[in-house]
Amino acid sequence: MNQVRKKATLSLCAIMKNEGPYLREWLEFHKLVGVERFYLYNNNSTDRTLDIVRPYRENHEVVLTNWPVQNGQQMKAYNHFLQKYKNESKWIAFIDLDEFLFPTEKNDLREILEEFPDVPAIGVNWLIFGTSGYEKKPKGLQIENFTKRAKEDFKANLNFKCIVRSEFTIECMTPHHFVYVNDGVAVSENHEKLSAKVSPQHSVKKLRINHYFTRSMEESLNKIKRGRATVNHKRKIGELKYHDRNEVEDLTIQRYIPKLKKSLAVFEREKDGVTTLEESNSLLTIGNLGKVVLENQILQLTGWIVSLILIPVSGFKVWIGGEEYKDFKQTLGIKSPRIKKARPRLKGAEKARFCLEIPLNKIHRESYQDLLIILIPMLGNFEGSVLIDVFNPSRKVPSEEYISQIDRNSSVDFQSNAFKWLGYLIQRIGLKPTDSILDIGCGIGEVAYGLTYYLTPKARYEGIEFSEKAIDWAQQEITPRKSNFNFQYQDIFHPIYNSKGTLPMKNFIFPYPEASFDAVCISNFFTHLSSIDIRHYLQQIKRVLKVGGKCLFACFLINFESQNLIADGKSSQHLIYEIEGGFCLDSELPEKTISFQESLIIDWIKESGLTVVGKYYGSWCGRKSFTHQDLLILQKKTEVQSKFNNYQTVLKQYKLRLQKIQGELWQ
């Protein structure tokens, strides 16, 4: 039985294949101009398309149909829509994923449609955009990058696409031409009849379609390989060169860019309760709190901060010693030549420094040792990535000699990494000062060191390490001063960290009762585990977490984007040796560094009964990000929810098998 949906005023129908890199931009843009629902036909996509549309489907904004048809797939898809879905919308626009339909002057397409109450369809002319000089696919929005187009009198611009009135439309003959009741015909924006697929004259005063026919030269060549959706033959290079016109700079569409970037950021933060950092860089900021000085009872904080989206940093929220400060002076946008030199490709790096002058309250003036400082950059109503430091710290850090013996980072990195992970735990999983936390693979105590400034005596920290030598410093320096911090060595075999261990990793049972912890942290261990060990650990994590508790862990996720970046040589991790389910750095010793397919890890998580509630892609493969490794946040829901999630996973597997069978039947 078909789901009953509220009738939309305006919907879009499109067929797509491997449009993942631009799909979210296309969806969010058309939502801005008044489109209420999208009917998408997936024609054998092998990229991240299905992952991208999933939250839109769950929000009932996208109706997705698997469409493995090989010949004439576009017209067949359109006719399938007309037979099954047309009555769910008053108006439907049939366009492609490289076409952006919008009103030339007004802001909402529905305002224009009101001017055509009795016509069967409106034909909207193209404006063909070229490569704008880009050889390779540029970063960012296509509507921001590709600004040069053909002149209006270019012959191909006479083509039009239709916004049809559902009650008058019978059948699709071509992507440009439909059959209407009573021998009706489409009209132009000037109410002129359009009897063919090209209009007698070009007009885009009210409505237009920006057709990004070529995109970059690199993408043009990929388009040739992919072939058309209308018929099963390849595009020719000559055709693409013919359309690569860059004669007029046209910025009309760019008035939507601020709202579009904001929509992309909001979407990334809110969808599914899962936050990701993909094309839109939605974690918003990157920066550092560099210097803290107390002078005349004024705490001066200096550092640098850069927004990763169009919205600038407008200020900071400040917590010192657990109290929020609201009355302080802040100066932003100070010239920063050193930051620009260190990060020449980072937009905004030339004026990135900030200075905060904060009058301390009486309590903090009298006792200012070990003052934990937390800064949250604000971009309007959005939070950037937290910056953390401690003023006048009393706790030691490991010596460089000790760290070099353990073969880890420098002592400077030790402290910065400690506060970085403290920021993740506070901001990303909501760790409270009284919570209990398990740190798996705690190493020399980086995560623990940061937590000593945050957790109260009522809290509990447990660290497990598999290298006896690595854990010595933490046991000797932290536990005697913080009795609620406990570190233990486990003699578990690992080819790198404990090659003489006696117990296989997959047989290790966490030495804690069920539901012992509010949080679990794994900062640098999952990238050194086999698939069997990861699945075992996920089961153990689920067991020791309290209901509602969360797990934060770092990993390297292989997906369409990261694979391309690795292939382009942009990754800091040369993960080129294939293993089951992923790739590794060293074929003879895979545990040095291991990555797995993102979809596979997600399946393992669901299999364990945990739920993904946060996902942040890292800079390891060449992206801009606040984190180097990818981060996943998992939550233990109620037992009923966990079982329900398991049933959903099984159902998904059956659906995939059914889709495969359907595809074979279509062939």
Residue range 603-624, pLDDT digits in tens: 999 999 999 988 888 889 888 7
**Residue 664 has what pLDDT?**
53
User: Same domain for 256 and 181?
Assistant: yes
- Checking if the pLDDT of 275 tops 50, the result is no
User: Same domain for 207 and 356?
Assistant: no
**Residue 399 has what pLDDT?**
86
**Residue 576 has what pLDDT?**
83
The model's confidence at residue 281, banded by pLDDT at 50, 70 and 90, is very low
Contacts of 435 (CB under 8 A, 6+ apart): 455, 459, 460, 518, 519
Number of Cβ within a 10 Å radius of residue 592: 13
- Checking if the pLDDT of 647 tops 70, the result is no
Contacts of 385 (CB under 8 A, 6+ apart): 283, 284, 285, 286, 287, 377, 423, 427, 626
Rounded to an integer, the average pLDDT of 617-641 is 84
The verdict on residue 252 lying in a domain is yes
User: Same domain for 308 and 264?
Assistant: no
Please give the structure tokens belonging to residue 326. Answer: 């609201």
The CA distance from 190 to 336, in Å, is: 54
The model's confidence at residue 564, banded by pLDDT at 50, 70 and 90, is confident
Task: Name the H helices within 286-382.
Answer: 337-342, 362-366
| Domain edge (last residue) among 341, 370, 394 | 394
Number of Cβ within a 10 Å radius of residue 364: 19
- Checking if the pLDDT of 589 tops 60, the result is yes
User: Same domain for 121 and 66?
Assistant: yes
The verdict on residue 606 lying in a domain is no
**Residue 339 has what pLDDT?**
94
Please give the structure tokens belonging to residue 138. Answer: 């540029």
User: Same domain for 59 and 192?
Assistant: yes
**Residue 199 has what pLDDT?**
93
pLDDT digits (tens, 9 = 90+) for 101-119: 999 999 999 999 999 999 9
Helix (H, G, I), strand (E, B) or coil at 428: helix
The model's confidence at residue 432, banded by pLDDT at 50, 70 and 90, is very high
Would you give the DSSP letter of residue 621? T
The verdict on residue 307 lying in a domain is yes
**Residue 279 has what pLDDT?**
34
- Checking if the pLDDT of 230 tops 70, the result is no
- Checking if the pLDDT of 1 tops 70, the result is no
The verdict on residue 404 lying in a domain is no
Cβ-contact 459, 429 below 8 angstroms: no
Sort residue 227 into left (φ over 0), alpha (ψ -120 to 50) or beta. Answer: left
Rounded to an integer, the average pLDDT of 275-288 is 54
pLDDT digits (tens, 9 = 90+) for 234-262: 446 778 888 999 999 999 999 999 889 87
pLDDT digits (tens, 9 = 90+) for 23-71: 999 999 999 999 999 999 999 888 888 888 988 988 889 999 999 888 8
- Checking if the pLDDT of 266 tops 60, the result is no
**Residue 623 has what pLDDT?**
81
The model's confidence at residue 272, banded by pLDDT at 50, 70 and 90, is very low
- Checking if the pLDDT of 642 tops 80, the result is no
Q: Where are the beta strands (DSSP E) in 586-657?
A: 594-597, 611-616, 630-635
User: Same domain for 290 and 381?
Assistant: yes
The verdict on residue 229 lying in a domain is yes
| Domain edge (last residue) among 250, 270, 290 | 270
> Which residue, 258, 261, 251, 256, is CA-closest to 127?
251
pLDDT digits (tens, 9 = 90+) for 84-94: 999 999 999 99
Helix (H, G, I), strand (E, B) or coil at 117: coil
Q: What is the CATH number of the domain that holds 346?
A: 2.60.40
Rounded to an integer, the average pLDDT of 350-366 is 94
The verdict on residue 416 lying in a domain is no
**Residue 333 has what pLDDT?**
95
Rounded to an integer, the average pLDDT of 299-312 is 87
**Residue 656 has what pLDDT?**
56
Between 65-79, 173-187, 378-392, the lowest mean confidence (pLDDT) is in 378-392
> Which residue, 166, 206, 170, 178, is CA-closest to 37?
166
Is the CA virtual torsion 647, 652, 657, 663 positive or negative? Answer: positive
The CA distance from 388 to 451, in Å, is: 12
Pairing of strands 436-440, 62-66: unpaired
**Residue 404 has what pLDDT?**
80
Cβ-contact 201, 212 below 8 angstroms: no
- Checking if the pLDDT of 204 tops 90, the result is yes
Q: What is the CATH number of the domain that holds 266?
A: 3.90.550
Rounded to an integer, the average pLDDT of 547-554 is 96
User: Same domain for 289 and 345?
Assistant: yes
261: containing domain: 8-270
User: Same domain for 257 and 341?
Assistant: no
The CA distance from 66 to 659, in Å, is: 7
Please give the structure tokens belonging to residue 550. Answer: 């969360």
pLDDT digits (tens, 9 = 90+) for 327-337: 999 999 999 99
The model's confidence at residue 560, banded by pLDDT at 50, 70 and 90, is confident
Greater pLDDT, 202 or 265: 202
Rounded to an integer, the average pLDDT of 181-190 is 96
> Which residue, 348, 352, 259, is CA-closest to 302?
352
User: Same domain for 195 and 306?
Assistant: no
The CA distance from 441 to 465, in Å, is: 5
**Residue 308 has what pLDDT?**
77
The model's confidence at residue 400, banded by pLDDT at 50, 70 and 90, is confident
- Bridge partner residues of 179 (DSSP): 171
Contacts of 567 (CB under 8 A, 6+ apart): none
**Residue 227 has what pLDDT?**
54
The model's confidence at residue 233, banded by pLDDT at 50, 70 and 90, is very low
The model's confidence at residue 122, banded by pLDDT at 50, 70 and 90, is very high
The CA distance from 292 to 442, in Å, is: 28
Task: Name the H helices within 85-216.
Answer: 109-113, 142-145
Helix axes 49-58, 20-32, angle to 10 degrees: 30
User: Same domain for 257 and 305?
Assistant: no
Percent of the chain with pLDDT over 70: 89
User: Same domain for 86 and 181?
Assistant: yes
Query: Can you give the pTM of this predicted structure?
Result: 0.58
**Residue 267 has what pLDDT?**
52
The CA distance from 39 to 3, in Å, is: 14
The model's confidence at residue 661, banded by pLDDT at 50, 70 and 90, is low
The verdict on residue 503 lying in a domain is no
- Checking if the pLDDT of 375 tops 70, the result is yes
| Domain edge (last residue) among 220, 252, 270 | 270
The verdict on residue 33 lying in a domain is yes
User: Same domain for 336 and 253?
Assistant: no
Number of domains in the chain: 2
Following CA atoms 658, 13, 9, 213 in sequence, which dihedral angle do they give, to the nearest 10 degrees? 150
**Residue 182 has what pLDDT?**
94
The model's confidence at residue 638, banded by pLDDT at 50, 70 and 90, is confident
**Residue 573 has what pLDDT?**
87
